[in-house]
């Protein structure tokens, strides 16, 4: 890294003493552009060569432009409603399960992603080796209402912390509307992401937060962080059975055995205990000029720049 302008750009150059193959690029500038339209306009004007994390609604402006190549993939990142089961109403398992089954994930995809991506029924996307392609979280509002009735929590309410960006705001509004249909009132508290993370995960003083799980290189890390008691990302309890399964998976070396254990953990953590509320896997859309070659999409959803080159 040869230059860093906070909230502006970061400039990289190859490290000459690197032990492996040198990258094709002699210089890489990463520009920080949090505004979705700004990234689209920067692509059109030629200010940038590659745009990442392009929302589905914005990419339509470039789909018929022969000057660009569009990669539309799914990554390990998913939008998740993290819940605090240490405080009411999420300390009640029936309430947690009512929320889990009261959300229509297909409708969320249509509302915020123009149908792109996939519903999040577990902590791994369908094409990942550790996923259970047969697992689904049934959308069943009548079941949700019955669970609320059994818990004595009809006409209940809770607050979701929501980051200050348009995408999460639209997603939160859609969730609010769906849960209203089963008798749960949702209040949205919008705040800067770092402040929201501190309030929910560190202070443990909020009901829920809507943000992303960004994925990890190994599925064991995801399982540990999301479902283990005492994890920073899991504000609540876990069962002894789930903890034992997680420990067993962590000491298992056969990939097929590990996959079977992750399937069992996801079922128990979500369908039986409702420890968190996975929502959707957004599409990982990357747009680049046609002269850019060597781009390799990957499940981590993070560009690998060492293989990229510019073909004149």
Residues of the chain with CATH 3.40.190.10: 3-73+283-310
Q: Report residues of the chain scoring pLDDT below 70.
A: none
Measured between alpha carbons, how far apart are the two ends of the chain, in Å?
A: 26
CA 103/CA 89 separation, integer angstroms: 17
Count of other CB atoms within 10 angstroms of residue 140: 16
Tokens of 305: 């720049």
Fold of 3-73+283-310: D-Maltodextrin-Binding Protein; domain 2 (3.40.190)
159: alpha, beta or left? (left if phi > 0; alpha if psi -120 to 50): beta
Contact 24, 291 (CB under 8 A): no
C-alpha atoms less than 13 angstroms from C-alpha of 155 in its C-beta half-sphere: 0
Contact 118, 109 (CB under 8 A): yes
Contact 97, 150 (CB under 8 A): no
Q: Return the pLDDT at 189.
A: 98
For domain 78-281, give the CATH number: 3.10.105.10
Residues of the chain with CATH 3.10.105.10: 78-281
pTM of the model: 0.89
């Amino acid at each position: 890294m040869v230059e860093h302008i906070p909230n502006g750009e970061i400039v990289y150059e190859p490290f000459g003493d690197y032990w492996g193959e040198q990258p094709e690029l002699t210089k890489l500038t990463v520009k920080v552009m949090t505004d979705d339209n700004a990234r689209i306009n920067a692509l059109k004007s030629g200010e940038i060569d590659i745009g990442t994390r392009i929302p589905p609604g914005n990419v339509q402006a470039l789909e018929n432009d022969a000057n660009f190549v569009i990669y539309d993939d799914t990554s390990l990142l998913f939008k998740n409603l993290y819940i605090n089961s240490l405080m009411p109403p999420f300390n009640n398992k029936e309430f947690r399960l009512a929320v889990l089954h009261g959300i229509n994930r297909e409708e969320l995809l249509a509302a915020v992603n123009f149908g792109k991506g996939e519903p999040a029924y577990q902590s791994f996307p369908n094409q990942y080796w550790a996923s259970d392609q047969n697992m689904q979280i049934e959308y069943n509002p009548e079941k949700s209402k019955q669970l609320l009735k059994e818990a004595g929590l009809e006409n209940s309410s809770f607050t979701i912390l929501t980051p200050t960006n348009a995408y999460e705001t639209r997603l939160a509004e859609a969730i609010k509307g769906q849960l209203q249909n089963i008798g749960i009132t949702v209040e949205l508290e919008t705040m800067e992401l770092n402040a929201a993370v501190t309030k929910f995960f560190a202070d443990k003083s909020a009901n829920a937060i809507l943000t992303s799980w960004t994925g990890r290189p190994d599925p064991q890390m995801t399982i540990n962080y999301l479902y283990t008691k005492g994890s920073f990302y899991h504000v609540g309890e876990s069962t002894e059975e789930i903890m034992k399964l997680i420990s067993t998976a962590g000491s298992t070396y056969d990939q097929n055995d590990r996959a079977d254990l992750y399937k069992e953990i996801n079922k128990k953590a979500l369908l039986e205990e409702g420890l968190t509320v996975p929502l959707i896997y957004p599409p990982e859309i990357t747009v680049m000029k046609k002269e850019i070659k060597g781009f390799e999409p990957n499940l981590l959803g993070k560009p690998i720049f060492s293989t990229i080159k510019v073909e004149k």
